[in-house]
Amino acid sequence: MAWGVGPGDAVFVPDFTFFSSGEVVCAVGATPVFVDVDERTFNLDSEQLEQAIDFVERETDLVPKAVVTVDLFGLPADYPKIKPICEKYGLFLLEDGAQGFGGSIKGEMACSFGDISTTSFFPAKPLGCYGDGGAVFTDDDEWADLIRSFAAHGKGSMKYDNIRIGMNSRLDAIQAAILKVKFESFVDVELEAVDGAARWYADALALIAQDEGFVLPMIPEGYASSWAQYTIQLPLACNRDALQSRLREKGIPTMVYYPKPMHQQRAFEGDCIAFGDMAITKKLCDRVLSLPFGPYVTHDEAADVADALRESLESL
């Protein structure tokens, strides 16, 4: 809204993400152009992105306007490649850091990569409050003023001077109070703890992954993940539903993030462009499984999950 993105504009969004990364594009009347992701990082594929921009410029009447990158499962997107592409084509970069808050690339923190970045404090995210909440980040004072106005019903000089159509996107004071306390633990304890837990999982799962043919998450050199999820890729032949119910019987909850490519969501039907065949996204939707995870997972729990996974896979 602050950038004036609207009808006739194309906004590029990864096909493998949570719905709202694309929903916001349609909410302002623009057209989401879904683009495939990288098989190892789950994040927007920079080569596919550039091809998709060329395609929209050549083959459609839409005007390329912005790119939404998603820091999926806590891992920052490929900003070293994607930022130059945005500069080359004059596109705004919106970092969807809902899952990425706390991650980094060479010490640069997630939610600082976009021209505007956003995060979510929904309880399932790396830094969760006890209800709904979120934040917007930008270095641009004009955009910041606009966003503050949009978030409070288009307020002008004061609450009852309304100068534009906005919405209610305020952060409740009670949630802010909770976040103030939790943010300290997030910085002092949880980010390091969750990275340690990821190492325990990697150690406990390495051999099983090799034997059973599943793929562990990969963090590229110089990157740090805030580990919103610990997501493995099962072998193609594995019956994921059956595996999930075996694990459930053993008291291990698992989730599928995400079962459906964005371009196949009914809400986008006739209202989006799907660039390419989305081979990777489709494969991921069939194969991913997120294991129970967080900063308070213990070494023993990681070992128990690994044992349960091996037993369940062998019993299928």
Ligand X SMILES: *Cc1c(COP(=O)(O)O)cnc(C)c1O
Question: Which residue ranges make up the site for ligand X (CB under 6 A)?
Answer: 17-18, 20-21, 70, 96, 98-99, 120, 122, 132, 134
Pick 118 or 312: Cβ nearer ligand X = 118
Q: Minimum distance between the CB of residue 47 and ligand X, rounded to whole angstroms?
A: 22
Q: Minimum distance between the CB of residue 42 and ligand X, rounded to whole angstroms?
A: 11
Pick 99 or 104: Cβ nearer ligand X = 99
Q: Minimum distance between the CB of residue 68 and ligand X, rounded to whole angstroms?
A: 9
Q: Minimum distance between the CB of residue 133 and ligand X, rounded to whole angstroms?
A: 7
Q: Minimum distance between the CB of residue 241 and ligand X, rounded to whole angstroms?
A: 23
Pick 78 or 96: Cβ nearer ligand X = 96
* Alpha helix stretches (DSSP H) within 154-298: 173-185, 191-212, 240-249, 279-287
Number of H helices, E strands in the chain: 9, 12
Is residue 94 classed as helix, strand or coil in its secondary structure? strand
- Omega of the bond leading into 258 within 30 degrees of 0 (cis): yes
Give the DSSP letter string of 34-84. Answer: EE-B-TTT-SB-HHHHHHHHHHHHHH-S-EEEEEEEE-GGG----HHHHHH
Is residue 24 classed as helix, strand or coil in its secondary structure? helix
Pick 149 or 175: Cβ nearer ligand X = 175
Pick 18 or 89: Cβ nearer ligand X = 18
Q: Minimum distance between the CB of residue 173 and ligand X, rounded to whole angstroms?
A: 17
Pick 20 or 162: Cβ nearer ligand X = 20
Q: Minimal CA–CA distance to 24: which of 78, 98, 121? A: 98
Kindly report the length of the chain.
316
Pick 134 or 261: Cβ nearer ligand X = 134
Q: Minimum distance between the CB of residue 24 and ligand X, rounded to whole angstroms?
A: 8
CA dihedral 174, 115, 191, 208 (to 10 degrees): 120
Q: What strand order describes the sheet that includes 92-96?
A: 134-138, 116-120, 92-96, 63-70, 9-14, 31-35, 273-274
